[in-house]
Structure 1
Amino acid sequence: MTETVQGKHIVVTGGTGALGAAVVGKLLADGATCHVPNAHAAAPSHFPFVSDDRVRLAHNVDLADPSKVDAFYASVPDLWASIHLAGGFTAAPVEKIESASFAEMMDTNARTAFLCCRAAVRSMLASATAGRIVNVTARAGLDPRRGAGMVAYTASKAAVAAMTVAMAEELKHKGILVNAVAPSTLDTPANRADMPDADVTKWVSLEAAAEAIAYLASPANLAMSGTLVPLYGRA
């Protein structure tokens, strides 16, 4: 019988967002306990799992602050998997991108993923856990030609992709499998509002993305590591 995430402790950064809530919901249905860092002093009102006793929310956690990240991971018992969905997006012509905006994208997407990966690896090595790490890059991160008009975002997501593959190679003899998913456009309320004329049937559903992420984070994934999984839907 294939082992499941029943009873396992899993970190989900960005867990209060649209994709995050879908992932948390899937993991809860599979029996996991989810640890969700939140940058604010309280959970957002739209987060549906505030009262679930298998969701451990930690507030005022700045994922770009190494000390805050390390303290958060130190509070998670028996870490099995760490899923990194936190991030941001910006688009602008290259000549209009300010240095601060570029740095913000690198901090929001690449730096947070690195700090969380590092903390997760330290925890897993300390407990001799053959764990799982799942990052989120983007289609533009794998094919930068699709990043026209969003150079800073594309560069930050390409960094996440490269980091994922490098870490998987480094950790392959230590039992920690590291992968990433690369979505195109996700079917979220925000994307629908921003692109009201788009054909949403070509987008990737949150449920489909959550299924892929949950598989990569589960014990059922016995061999996939260093894989950048395209989630392109019909686009």
Structure 2
Amino acid sequence: MDYQDRQVVVTGGTGALGEAVVAALVASGAICHVPWRDEREAERFAYRDHGQVKLLGPIELTDEAALRQFYEGIPDLWASIHIAGGFAMSPVAKTDKAALMHLLDMNLVSCFLCCAAAVNAIARSGKGGRIVNVAARHALEWRGGAGLVAYTASKAAVSALTVALSEEVAKQDILVNAVAPSIMDTPTNRAAMPKADYAAWPKVEEVAATILFLASPENKVTRGAVVPVYGKS
């Protein structure tokens, strides 16, 4: 994909999938803007000193004013990729309102506000652009969300947001899509599930490749898609 000198936001860029996306974007010539919240993750981030990467933080992705300021500081934004989010397992009977709202903030609200800021920033350039959200397998296969209903609902909302927004901004040449990963092969997931079949899990680099295409200028027609990226799992 040719991203030469294109400005791209990657939220959650210091995490496992985010770092794979940033690596692929940098290799393709993009300039990546990565907002961070966790200072320890930012310090460990392999691309923190890379010339094509601009780290800025701490930024809370549910802070509308902070996001607006962040996006307004990026000239000619081409794409915004929203990986940041959260996960929790809890049956409904043991999930209180605070836990539900926390997941909605991390997954739906942060994604919504980033989408809104990105649409405004891309529109200012008048050149069109791309938005890619990250949903989850449970966002497409709701029955699998037993035991993590609040998480499933928050990610299903990200899918609905993606499809509705894609219709809203298509005439501005802003193509909006999402990917829906299953469990990805990361050190954290391996530690949490030591007996799992890791070979069946999609690698973060493979999921990143799908994101890269959807966010690229080569993608000229795909919008409103929530693309399963399940690997063999």
Which amino acid in 2 is paired with 1:218? S
Which string of whole-angstrom CA distances, capped at 9 and with x for unpartnered residues, describes residues 110-135 of structure 1?
00000000000011112212100000
Hey, what does 1:120 align to over in structure 2?
118
Q: Is 2:215 the counterpart of 1:221?
A: no
- Structure 1 residues 51-200: aligned runs within 5 Å: 51-200=49-198
Hey, what does 1:4 align to over in structure 2?
2
Runs of 4+ in structure 1 deviating by more than 3 angstroms, as ranges, are: 40-43
Which amino acid in 2 is paired with 1:6? Q
**Does structure 1 retain, via aligned residues, the 8 Å contact 2:9–2:34?**
yes
Which amino acid in 1 is paired with 2:21? V
Hey, what does 1:232 align to over in structure 2?
230
**Does structure 2 retain, via aligned residues, the 8 Å contact 1:43–1:59?**
no
Which amino acid in 2 is paired with 1:186? M
Hey, what does 2:47 align to over in structure 1?
49
Look up the SS of the partner of 1:173 in the other structure. helix
1:177 and 1:200, CA in 2 relative to 1: closer, same or farther beyond 3 A?
same
Per-residue deviation at 1:42?
6.8
Hey, what does 1:23 align to over in structure 2?
21
Taking structure 2 as the reference length, what is the TM-score of the superposition? Answer: 0.98
**Does structure 2 retain, via aligned residues, the 8 Å contact 1:164–1:180?**
yes
User: How many residue pairs end up in the alignment?
Assistant: 233
Which string of whole-angstrom CA distances, capped at 9 and with x for unpartnered residues, describes residues 198-229 of structure 1?
00011010110010001101001010000110
Which amino acid in 2 is paired with 1:192? R
Per-residue deviation at 1:76?
1.1
**Does structure 2 retain, via aligned residues, the 8 Å contact 1:171–1:177?**
yes
Counterpart Cα distance in 2 of 1:44 and 1:36:
9
Listed as ranges, the gaps of 5+ residues in structure 2 are none
**Does structure 1 retain, via aligned residues, the 8 Å contact 2:76–2:124?**
no
Per-residue deviation at 1:46?
2.1
Which string of whole-angstrom CA distances, capped at 9 and with x for unpartnered residues, describes residues 66-112 of structure 1?
00111110111110000000000000111000110000000000000
**Does structure 1 retain, via aligned residues, the 8 Å contact 2:139–2:159?**
yes
1:71 and 1:42, CA in 2 relative to 1: closer, same or farther beyond 3 A?
farther
Q: CA RMSD in A?
A: 1.1
Listed as ranges, the gaps of 5+ residues in structure 1 are none
